[in-house]
Structure 1
Amino acid sequence: MDNPKTKFMDLTRILTLANMISLLRAFMAIPIIIYLQNENWTIAFVLIILAILSDTLDGYFARRAHEVTHFGKWLDPIADFVVILAVTTYLVMEGIFPAWFYWFYLGRYVAIALPAIYYLNSTNFVLQSNWYGKWSAGITTFSIILHIFPIAQLSWLPQFTLYIATGLLTFSYLKYVRTFYQASKQS
């Protein structure tokens, strides 16, 4: 059986187009925040949309080029987390976004990342994102957009989307707990 830890650090499997797109997405948090601070809403909106598109493109290119990697399986959700956490940190500090969701999102990520790192270091187990997590990231991003660019006639929608995201994030977390439990039984 191939050792995922060896594949995880193989440079030829790290420097793929898909992984570079994911990495670029993580760094997009910086200009997004700068443009939000400068109230350049149009450019901030375009960058957020590009970040969303990059989340779709990285997986597409990885599958098309047959370059799905263990590193990419880690990098994609980390890039999502970095962008969402960085932007929501700024928005919470500006009073635009609810702090309760920020802390919930951060806590959930830590609760998933710590056992995932443990299993990567002690077994051949490599955690992959699940569809509930992907959907919750999309809905969370949609909610962030609605908090930045509110629609007066739909003032209830930003909070409502956060409740949906919270439900999906919770369900996704429970799926990860089950995955960790199954991995612990196999190791």
Structure 2
Amino acid sequence: MNLPNKITLARIFLIPVFMVLMLVPFSFGSWNFQGTVLPFAHLAGAILFILAAATDWFDGYIARKQNLVSNFGKFLDPLADKLLVTAALLSLIEIGILPAWMAIVILSREFAVTGMRLVAASDGQVIAASGIAKWKTVFQMVALAILLLHNVPFETWNIPLGMILMWIAVLLTIFSGIDYFVKNKHIFRHSM
């Protein structure tokens, strides 16, 4: 197994640790940042999420730079991303920071696009990530990181930056989903 795939697997194995930090009520204390209370376990979970999200860029960079792109990696990397995002979305719903409908929109688009990619793959076609989808991912990851940090330090200034970025991510999610289906409608015509 090459290094990028090992990094991707490590990202998947970090997800249960992240979930425990976010969802199991630990009594490690909390950090009070100018009135915003952030439990230490949530701080550790947010840092772990940020590190895991960063490995997504890092493993892709190594794979391209050292010509280590593999079919296993092409399958595993998006799966790891979807699992990490799903874990963060569900954690934020559970701790009362994110409305469930936002997660439903994001996850519905992910399932739909993944299904389309599977249909395309069965016909030997590969659907690459679009530019709008890449921006969607950037906004999702940054929004999730800020929300996992309970919007610190922006909460101090009464700026709901995490939710603003999540709204942008949701809009980009919808637009990128529509974009994928419009640009690839021929896939469904051939498979029906």
TM-aligned CA deviation for residue 105 of structure 1 = 0.8
RMSD: 2.1
Work out the number of aligned pairs and report it.
172
Moved more, 51-60 or 25-34: 25-34
Instruction: Looking at secondary structure, tell me which structure has more strand per residue.
Output: 2
TM-aligned CA deviation for residue 184 of structure 1 = 5.1
Match of 2:166 in 1: 162
Consecutive unaligned residues of structure 1, counting only runs of 5 or more, are 1-14
1:169 & 1:27 partners in 2: Cα distance?
Answer: 26
CA contact (8 A) 1:139 1:161 kept: yes
2:66 & 2:130 partners in 1: Cα distance?
Answer: 21
1:172 aligns with 2:158: no
Match of 1:8 in 2: none
Partner SS, residue 67 of structure 2: coil
Moved more, 170-179 or 52-61: 170-179
2:12 & 2:190 partners in 1: Cα distance?
Answer: 33
1:135 aligns with 2:139: no
TM-score after normalising by structure 1: 0.80
TM-aligned CA deviation for residue 183 of structure 1 = 4.1
Match of 1:60 in 2: 61
Match of 1:12 in 2: none
2:3 & 2:73 partners in 1: Cα distance?
Answer: 10
Letter in 2 for 1:20: K
1:147 aligns with 2:147: yes
Consecutive unaligned residues of structure 2, counting only runs of 5 or more, are 27-38
Partner SS, residue 28 of structure 1: helix
TM-score after normalising by structure 2: 0.79
Mapping of residues 6-85 of structure 1, within 5 Å: 15-37=1-23, 38=26, 39=39, 40-85=41-86
Letter in 2 for 1:113: T
TM-aligned CA deviation for residue 185 of structure 1 = 6.6
CA contact (8 A) 2:133 2:172 kept: yes
2:134 & 2:4 partners in 1: Cα distance?
Answer: 17
Letter in 2 for 1:41: H
Letter in 2 for 1:148: L
